[in-house]
Chains A and B, each alone.
Chain A
C-alpha cells in the first residue's frame, strides 16, 4: 500500500493529484493516516498507533480505516 508518487500533500491536509487535476481535503486524523502510509506503516501498525493516541476502540478504528483506505483507492490516490 503506497500513496501514488506524484500526489502532492500540503501540511494543512490538502491533496492534489496533478495527473487528473483533482484536489481533496482530509481531516487531521486522515492526514495522520496518509503520513503513516507514506512512512510505509502497515494497517495493523496504523490501527495500533491510533488506538494508542485516541479515545476509541479498536473495532471502530479498524472499520473506519478500511473505509478510508477504500476511499483513497476510489479516488486513485494509492496504488
Chain B
C-alpha cells in the first residue's frame, strides 16, 4: 500500500486567530509555479535560495504605466532607475521597452553606457558626483541634475575649462504636505533656494538649464503630494519663462510610487491599499495640464519610477532549514535566506507563500533567516501551513532594492534567474563563489605563511 503524504501535526487556538492580525487566506495559498516554471525545478537546477525575475511581468508593468501616462499627457519619457535593480538583463528589458537610464553614481553611469544607452539619454542624479564624473557626463551630453551649490559652482568651473555648455537641471525639494519632508536633496522651493540657483545658472550663462527635477519621497501613499509637486515645478518653469524667456524642456517627477508591498505596521495588505498608478498619473498630469503652459511649450514629463515597475516581477525562492519552538510557545521557522539578501524585510511585511500543496490547517509563526544575529527576522508573524525542513517557499515583491542592497555577510549571494516571455529560465547572475569575494583581496607576503 502506498503511504500517505505526511503533514506535521498542528493545533491552533481559535480564540486568537479570529480577528486575523496575521494575514489572510490568500497569503498561504501555495504558489507552485512562476510563469509556468515549477518552483521545485528552479530550486533543483539553480540552488536555494534563488531570485527569480519575470520578464513578462516587467514588460506588462512598463507598458501599463506608459499607457496610463500617455493617455493623459502627450509627452512622457521613463528613465529606468538603476539603483532599484541594476542587473544588466533587467535594465535591458526596460531599455528595449523604450526607457532611458537614470543613475546616481559613476559605476551605474558606466553600466548604462555599457548597456548601450546613449549618453544623452542617461539622467545623472545624486549628491556625490566627482569632477571626473561631471567631465564624462559633459562629454556624453548627459543631462546633469545638480543637487547642491557646491556642485553647481564646480560644474561651472569644469565647463569653463572644457569650454562646454552642458545640459543641466536642478533638483528641487519642497513641502508637498507629507511628513517627513525630503529636504536633504536638492534646492528648496519654499525658501527660495531653488529660484536662487536658477538665477545663478541663468546669470552665469555657461550651463544650459533644460529641466527641473524632483523626487519627493519613497513609497508615497498620497497621490495628491505629486499633484502639489507638479504644480510647484510648473510654477518654477513658468517663472523661468517669464523672467528669462527660456522654455524648460522637461519636468522630471522622480520615482516613489508605491509597489504592491505591505509596509510594516500598516493595516490591510499592500496590494489592496496602495494607490494605483493611474491615481499618481492623474494627479501629476492634471497639475501639468492646468498649470498654464502654452500648448506647444508643454514640458516633457520624465518619470524615474523604480519599485512600482519591478517589485512584483521579483520572487525569492527559499527552503526551510528547521523549525523551533520559542520560549513563549510561538513557532519559529528558520529559512535559508535572511535580511542579508532581503534588505526590504526591514520595512515591508513581504507576502510569503508555500511552494507545495498543504491541507487547510495553518499556524502562526515567526520566520527567521540563517544569520547569526538577532535582527535577522523575515516576518515577525505570518500564517503558514506546517512547513518542515526542506519545504520551499516563495517570497513575493522582492524585485526592487533587494539585489542592489544585498549584503555579503556569512552567506554567499544566490543566483538570479529570469524567466523569458516563452517561459524559459535564463541565469542572469551566477551565484557567488569564494573566488568572487576574494577577487580584490591582497595578502601581503609576510602574512602568507603561518604554522599552528
Contact = CB atoms under 8 A, between A and B. Distances in A.
Interface of A: 14-15, 22-30, 33, 50, 53-56, 60-61, 64-65, 67-68, 70-72, 74-75, 77
B9 A26 contact: yes
Given A27-B361, A67-B325, A53 B4 contact: yes
B325 A70 contact: yes
Would you call the interface of chain B mostly helix, strand, loop, or mixed?
loop
B9 A64 contact: yes
Contacts of A53: 3-4
A33 B11 CA distance: 11
A27 B5 contact: no
A64 B389 CA distance: 11
Contact of B11 (A26, A50, A54, A65): A26
B386 A27 contact: yes
Nearest to A57: B6
Contacts, number: 73
B20 interface: no
B11 A30 contact: yes
4 tightest A-B CB contacts, nearest first: A27-B361, A30-B9, A56-B6, A55-B3
Interface in B3-56: 3-15
B125 to A, nearest CB: 52
Nearest to B12: A25
Most buried by A among B7, B323, B386: B7
Given A22-B13, A27-B361, A64 B8 contact: yes
B9 A75 contact: no
- Secondary structure at the A interface, as helix, strand, loop or mixed, is helix
Contacts of B5: 54-55
A54 B329 contact: no
B213 to A, nearest CB: 55
Contacts of B7: 27-29
Interface in B361-376: 361
A30 B10 contact: yes
B111 interface: no
Interface string B313-332: 00000000001010001000
A51 B3 CA distance: 9
A60 B329 CA distance: 19
Nearest to A21: B15
A25 B4 CA distance: 21
Contacts of A72: 11
Given A30-B10, A68-B8, 9 more contacts: A22-B15, A24-B11, A27-B361, A28-B7, A54-B3, A55-B3, A68-B10, A70-B325, A71-B11
Contacts of B325: 67, 70
Contacts of A61: 6
Contacts of A29: 6-9
B139 to A, nearest CB: 64
Given A27-B386, A67-B325, A33 B361 contact: no
B440 interface: no
B388 interface: yes
B359 interface: yes
Given A60-B388, A70-B325, A71-B329, A24 B3 contact: no
A27 B10 contact: yes
Contacts of B386: 27
30 contacts: A15-B11, A22-B13, A24-B11, A24-B12, A25-B12, A26-B9, A26-B361, A27-B7, A27-B9, A27-B361, A27-B386, A28-B359, A29-B6, A29-B7, A30-B10, A30-B361, A50-B6, A54-B3, A54-B6, A55-B6, A56-B3, A60-B6, A61-B6, A64-B8, A68-B10, A68-B11, A70-B325, A71-B11, A71-B329, A77-B11
Nearest to A33: B9
A75 B6 contact: no
A26 B8 CA distance: 11
A61 B386 CA distance: 13
A50 B3 CA distance: 10
Nearest to A28: B359
Interface in B336-379: 359, 361
B14 A24 contact: yes
A14 B13 CA distance: 10
Contacts of B9: 26-27, 29-30, 33, 64-65, 68
Nearest to A50: B6
A65 to B, nearest CB: 7
B5 to A, nearest CB: 6
B390 to A, nearest CB: 10
A67 B13 CA distance: 15
A25 B10 CA distance: 8
A27 B359 contact: yes
